[in-house]
Amino acid sequence: MDRRIPVDDDRTGQRIVPETIRRSDRAPDNRYGNRPTMKDVAARAGVGLKTVSRVVNGEPGVTPETERRVQEAIDALGFRRNDSARVLRKGRTASIGLVLEDLADPFYGPLSRAVEEVARAHGALLINGSSAEDPDREQELALALCARRVDGLVVIPAGDDHRYLEPELKAGVATVFVDRPAGKIDADCVLSDNHGGARDGVAHLIAHGHRRIGFIGDMPRIHTAAERLRGYRDAMEDAGIPVEDSWMSLGVTDPERVRGAAEEMLAGPSPVTAIFTGNNRVTVTVIRVLAEQTRRVALVGFDDIELADLLQPGVTVVAQDAATLGRTAAERLFRQLDGTLVTPERIELPTRLITRGSGELPPED
């Protein structure tokens, strides 16, 4: 047998093994084309092919002893079920796609986990990706998932025109939109009460004596941002408080833009005495800005944030239930797949005001 003894390289200290081992001397490489089949499992276990199929697919009609032998053969050979063949037979892939806005946003963590748990309970695999708030990327990702024959889609939309999905819907791809509604098509959607939650948060500040209240939100084309701005305006109007243009700022949520907007509202002879922030990313930046102020400014944020209760004062928030959003959307998706849903519906979940101190500060002037 032509094998050479490994040697040490005095210069590098690395151990060198000359490539002289013949291909036939190596362990079989099963990564490509040599995967064990059900026939291999049947031969090793000493049973028929149908028996292996029943064990692999969880079907009845196999004695415990036979099932044990088959399972031992499966484990020994490293057999994996060929799901591609099952797709051809059943027309279902047992997989669903989730299109998120931003995988790094903590809001989407519990939402994604809830969708995954529902999918797992239905024996389905979850495949997710991020649109990065880009409508073109959202379309590309959603259609790529459809091309891989997912059974359904849960979409947090970045765009406002989803007619590109019409052929997929007609082909039977179940689809539910979550957090924001679909644009220009009829589809199930599961939302939070963004308008009502923002109105309640601003009304809370008004109830504590504030009249000059700023609003800093996301880009106005986004449904949630527009609804939260509408809630802010309605709360101010209900209280008979005219809103100045300088009190409102919508745009990208990067820290530089938000910091500039907050500092501008807090400057001048008549600065705002309170700020309502439109989402968790805005809230975090505004907290940093307020920490640099010599006077105390009230704050209520939309979306809860980690460690909000440990700050001094704690941060008062309008909280969404991200997990319930995801779970409700996924459950509707599987009801579509089961054929129990026909007419698309819009479901709106309530928000909750959590008081911790920052929203209860009275105005200093």
Reported as a pLDDT band with limits 50, 70 and 90, residue 18 is very low
Predicted confidence (pLDDT) at residue 206 exceeds the cutoff of 70 = yes
The pTM of the whole model exceeds 0.85: no
Cα separation, 36 vs 229, whole angstroms: 59
Using a 10 angstrom Cβ sphere, with 0-12 exposed, 13-18 middle and 19 or more buried, the burial of residue 208 is: middle
Q: How many CA atoms lie within 13 A of 126 on its CB side?
A: 23
pLDDT tens figures, 104-147 = 888 999 999 999 999 999 989 999 999 998 999 999 999 999 98
Q: What is the predicted pLDDT for the residue at 34?
A: 66
38-79 to CATH, choices 3.20.20.70, 1.10.260.40, 3.40.228.10, 3.30.70.360:
1.10.260.40
Q: Which residues contact 50 (CB under 8 A, 6 or more apart)?
A: none
- Centre a 10 Å sphere on the Cβ of residue 129 and count the other Cβ atoms it contains: 17
Cα separation, 229 vs 198, whole angstroms: 8
Lowest-pLDDT range of 55-59, 173-177, 237-241, 249-253 = 55-59
Predicted confidence (pLDDT) at residue 59 exceeds the cutoff of 60 = yes
- Centre a 10 Å sphere on the Cβ of residue 236 and count the other Cβ atoms it contains: 22
In CATH terms, the fold of domain 93-192+323-349 is Rossmann fold (3.40.50)
Q: What percent of the chain has pLDDT over 90?
A: 73
326, amino acid identity: G
Reported as a pLDDT band with limits 50, 70 and 90, residue 35 is confident
Phi, psi for 364 (deg, rounded to 5)? -80, -15
Burial 37-64 (b: 16+ CB within 10 A, else e): ebeebbebbebeeebbbbbbeeeeebee
Predicted confidence (pLDDT) at residue 223 exceeds the cutoff of 60 = yes
Start-to-end CA span in the chain (Å)? 92
Residue in the block written with tokens 């999918």: 119
Cα separation, 210 vs 298, whole angstroms: 9
pLDDT tens figures, 262-303 = 999 999 889 999 999 999 999 999 999 999 999 999 999 999
Using a 10 angstrom Cβ sphere, with 0-12 exposed, 13-18 middle and 19 or more buried, the burial of residue 28 is: exposed
Predicted confidence (pLDDT) at residue 7 exceeds the cutoff of 70 = no
Lowest-pLDDT range of 11-20, 28-37, 337-346 = 11-20
Partners of 317 in beta bridges: 301, 354
What residue spans define the domains of the chain?
A: 38-79, 93-192+323-349, 194-320
Domain 194-320 in CATH: superfamily? Response regulator (3.40.50.2300)
Longest dimension (CA), the chain: 94
| Fold: same for 93-192+323-349 and 194-320 | yes
pLDDT tens figures, 310-354 = 999 999 999 999 999 999 999 999 999 998 887 999 999 999 999
